[in-house]
A = this chain, B = another copy of it.
Amino acid sequence: MEKPKRRILIVGGVAGGASAAARARRLCERCEIVVFDRGPYVSFANCGLPYYVGDVIVEEKKLLVATPELFKNRFNIDVYTETEVTNIDRSQQELEVRNLKTGETRIEPYDALILSTGAKAIRPPLPGIDLPGIFVLRTIPDSRKIRDALQTATRAVIVGGGFVGLEMAENLRHRGLEVTLIEMANQVMPPIDPEMAVMIANRLEKNGVQLCLDTSVESFAKNEKGSLTVKVSSGKSLDTDLVILAIGVRPETTLFENAGLRLGECGGVQVDEYMQTSDPNIWAVGDVVETQDVVTGTQQLIPLAGPANRQGRIAAESVIRDAQRKEKTTRFRGVQATMVCGVFDLTVAATGASEKMLNRLGMTDYQAVYLHPGNHVGYYPGATPIHIKLLFSKSDGQILGAQAIGEAGVTRRIDVIAMAMQMGGTVFDLEESELCYAPQFGAAKDPVNLAGMIAANHLRGDLPLANWKELGKNDVELIDVRSPQEFEKGHIPGAKNIPLESLRERLSEFSTEEEIWLICGVGQRAYYATRALLQHGIDVKNLSGGMQTYHTFKKANSILTPDSF
């Protein structure tokens, strides 16, 4: 007599759920696999929605990575869309399922259950929040509604300066709208540090986006002209035709809570390294779970597509291979929050922890260095700078995080550093890495090498670093080692100019009483000067990243308190 088929039910058919379903089939041909999704589509390209709104992606059907028919024909997987799972009966191992088209409910028994319920866009309980013209962007129907509104709209207010907010700002400008972006924090793009975020703010403003930082929305109202009025904390009112809420997402945990499954400290579902929940027959993946951040060791909610896909694979493997008592099931290694966002031809990417995050967690054993190398050698036409901030452990050189902003070659450098971090690498490993070089592709000392070299120089004691946040404190003499011409064009108030080239003849001009900080254009000449002066017995520190970094700190400081960093 044939054994009954093992029945694997999957709730949520986008990134994590779709990955889990397809991989479960590859590992188990005999299982019955069923996917339920509340929405009208499965496996759609969530991350593409801002570009569909922006008409960069023109055809809606391009967003459908896979259809229920494909799942059936190719994988023998049953997909039920517009079908909501309303309850989990863990003792009976059954789901209560409602067909949203007919209203009918039915019971679906399971042997294993994989939940990929995702996250929902936050809609704060503000007056007028439910007015027409106020949108979120999570699904294809959401994007369709915004596209419809764009037929008449000429002004948009975006609330929230994270990924979706920035991508929407770009795409709505691309569609010709006047765009105002409101952000409660004192910077855009929360995963990176404020002095780096300044470069994004500059780029937004250069492209006509009105930026309101440190500003929160107080209410929405319909005005007499038929458009919307947005009242903000500064007392101002903004008239607009549409509002995009891009404040963030919250894990969709209702099903889990009702079933008594354990949640974690951040409000996401708690899972082990095999994505198994507190119920041994239930797994969870994607935006709904919290995972360990590999750098800080803390639990985090990281709603990103890459981890969701890998978690889906791992959950499926755990469901199948554990059942077959196989060994060596893949473990989820945690997240390091590698991310990238495009903003008006600027690429912003990061991996690991930010300085803000390290400070918040009291992890003070770190050092930051800044550099601004070209994406390729300067003698080959078309080089553009990559602005890099590297964070590493002062005690052992372990890489803690990296942020990079530029027009080309940014993802490449962050990906290389992400891989080094995944392998437990140090700045010494970056220093010695062997990367692709030809004139149009990089430099014999790649930006990654340079970042490692600067950090390693510091750790070897060859490059003492000043703290940017202490700029302006008393009893520091600031020496600018650039050429007189460069110095004339602009310098830090109070700085004195002693060009690198005349340093050795002017040693007597260096104070032995006060602390001396050196600065140049990007940090290279100040490093040379630091080396020379230290060996002549003059105690100096370097302002990492030079005037380039100064300008970003200056702008950040005009908005921020020292504690913001």
Listed in ascending order, the chain A residues whose CB lies under 8 Å from chain B are 15, 25-30, 45, 47-48, 51, 56-57, 62-63, 65, 73-76, 163, 167, 304-310, 313, 328, 330, 333, 335-342, 347, 349, 351, 377-381, 411-412, 414-416, 418-420, 422-425, 428-429, 431-442, 444-446, 448-449, 453, 460, 462, 500-501, 504, 525, 527-528, 531-532, 535-536
Contacts and interface: CB of A to CB of B under 8 A. Distances in A.
A525 to B, nearest CB: 8
A379 B48 contact: yes
A442 B313 CA distance: 19
A506 to B, nearest CB: 13
A415 B412 contact: yes
A505 to B, nearest CB: 11
A428 B509 CA distance: 58
A74 B528 contact: yes
A304 B436 CA distance: 10
A79 to B, nearest CB: 15
Q: What are the 9 tightest A-B residue pairs by CB atom distance, in nearest-first order?
A: A423-B423, A29-B535, A412-B412, A340-B436, A305-B444, A26-B531, A411-B436, A62-B379, A73-B501
Given A48-B380, A305-B444, A436 B424 contact: no
Contacts of A444: 15, 47, 305-306, 308-309
Contact of A419 (B310, B380, B419): B419
B437 A305 contact: yes
Nearest to A536: B29
A418 B441 contact: no
A415 B414 contact: no
A419 B305 CA distance: 23
Contacts of A442: 340, 411
B435 A342 contact: no
Contacts of A448: 415
Max count, chain B CB within 10 A of own CB: residue among A25, A163, A415: A415
Given A26-B462, A381-B56, A381-B57, A340 B437 contact: yes
A415 B418 contact: no
Contact of A500 (B45, B74, B439, B449): B74
Contacts of A309: 444-445
Given A415-B415, A532-B29, A422 B434 contact: yes
Contacts of A460: 328
B425 A57 contact: no
A347 to B, nearest CB: 7
Contacts of A351: 434, 436
Contact of A423 (B29, B333, B340, B424): B424
Contacts of A310: 432, 434, 449
A390 to B, nearest CB: 14
Nearest to A502: B73
Contacts of A425: 419, 423
B30 A535 contact: yes
Contacts of A414: 436
Contacts of A527: 26
A440 B62 contact: no
A184 B299 CA distance: 59
Contact of A306 (B48, B65, B434, B500): B434
Contacts of A347: 441
Contact of A504 (B76, B378, B412): B76
Given A45-B439, A336-B434, 8 more contacts: A27-B462, A65-B379, A338-B437, A340-B442, A349-B436, A351-B436, A411-B436, A422-B434
A26 B422 contact: no
Max count, chain B CB within 10 A of own CB: residue among A75, A378, A440: A440
A26 to B, nearest CB: 4
24 contacts: A26-B462, A29-B536, A47-B438, A48-B439, A56-B381, A76-B504, A304-B437, A305-B444, A306-B434, A306-B435, A306-B446, A309-B444, A309-B445, A310-B432, A313-B453, A340-B438, A342-B438, A411-B436, A415-B446, A418-B434, A418-B435, A419-B435, A422-B429, A422-B432
Contacts of A167: 438
A63 B535 contact: no
A33 to B, nearest CB: 13
Nearest to A438: B340
A351 B527 CA distance: 32
Given A377-B48, A415-B412, A536-B29, A338 B439 contact: no
A359 to B, nearest CB: 23
Nearest to A337: B434
Nearest to A341: B438
B29 A531 contact: yes
B432 A45 contact: no
B48 A432 contact: no
